[in-house]
Structure 1
Amino acid sequence: MLIFKTLTARGQNMAALSIAILGGLVILDYATGHELVFSAAYLIPVSLAAWHCSRSIVWILSIACSIITLAMDHVEGHSYSHLFYHYWKSFSCLVISLTTGHLLGRLRDTLRERKQANDDLQRALRELQASTEEIRQLQNGLQVVCAWTKQIKVGEEWMSPDEFLSSRLHLNLTHGISPEAYQELAKQWMKPGAQSA
């Protein structure tokens, strides 16, 4: 069946187990007769499928449980005062099964999302700790700066201040002009003959 092919191997095994449990419950329901209400037991395979399989499997099992409830009443010869109640019981079984399956599926998805968010947070914390440790090592050490080129020595490598700040401190840099440099530049432009050059 195409729906089963979309499941993982574990999902296929759990779907098969859910169907087997449903089959066992049908036999048990038939053996006990209509004296025992067995409708709640049909939630077991639906719940198992909701936790381990897809929503389509939950729908299939819920519809199957509804049809089985209808068929078992007919096979056992259980009579109702009105035909409406016969179908109402089957419809109620369908609604309860679908609701249970939907809620358990949402709970499973929420738990997976929280686990993923927690894993992402743990990874971010590890990266932050590694960066913090690297910054502490740089702060505690003496940094050698070339007096002429202003390059910084890190290990055996020389790098520009921009490279150092971006690669070691992970800072995003852009360039601007300070007020002092702007004033100095303005003075140079105002000198006679500076504009012609």
Structure 2
Amino acid sequence: MKLLVTGGAGYVGSVVSRMLLDAGHEVVVLDDLRTGHAVAVPPEATFVRGSIHDAAQVITPEAGFDGVLHFAGLIAAGESMAKPELYWDDNVIGSLALLDAVRAAGVRRFVFSSTAAVYGNPTELPIRETAVKHPTSTYGATKLAFDLALTSEAFAHELAAVSLRYFNVAGAYLRPGCRSVSGTTRRPT
């Protein structure tokens, strides 16, 4: 499959890109490098430096993408309260531009990196997917806004879509065939 990974120079996007490549997929990474790092993009991926606002230049019918994994966006809840305009622009307007490009190109699969921040302060634990969504930050509100837009788009245009609402992401990816020794990763000899 040919897949586009937005935000593929960031922490989660770069690990997902690596895993997709290891599974035999063709990966194109779209990232503007505002918060990501070019060195994090796996060398086997095709890297396009650009904004999700301009995704239509990358996602065309001729490009032949089978799916999009959307990890691009701003993520600092505190900053989102001081500079909400940045978050509405990037996380909603940019994501809607991406979704428009997906629809126009006939891409049928979409994975969205949302957040558990859409739930705000939960009234019960564990938080279930059906819990009331009441974000307490602009960050959470922008992610919820796009969640809702994606749900509508999926319903109206038969797009297979999912929103991942995880909490704090941490860890490392150890590639198959490698082993960790004293905190370092080594290739087998």
Measured against the shorter chain, the TM-score band is under 0.3
From the two aligned structures, give the one with the greater helix fraction. Answer: 1
Q: For CA contacts below 8 A with separation 6 or more, give which structure has more relative contact order.
A: 2
- TM-score between both structures, scaled by the size of structure 2: 0.28
- TM-score between both structures, scaled by the size of structure 1: 0.27
From the two aligned structures, give the one with the greater strand fraction. Answer: 2
Which structure's CA Rg is the greater one? 1
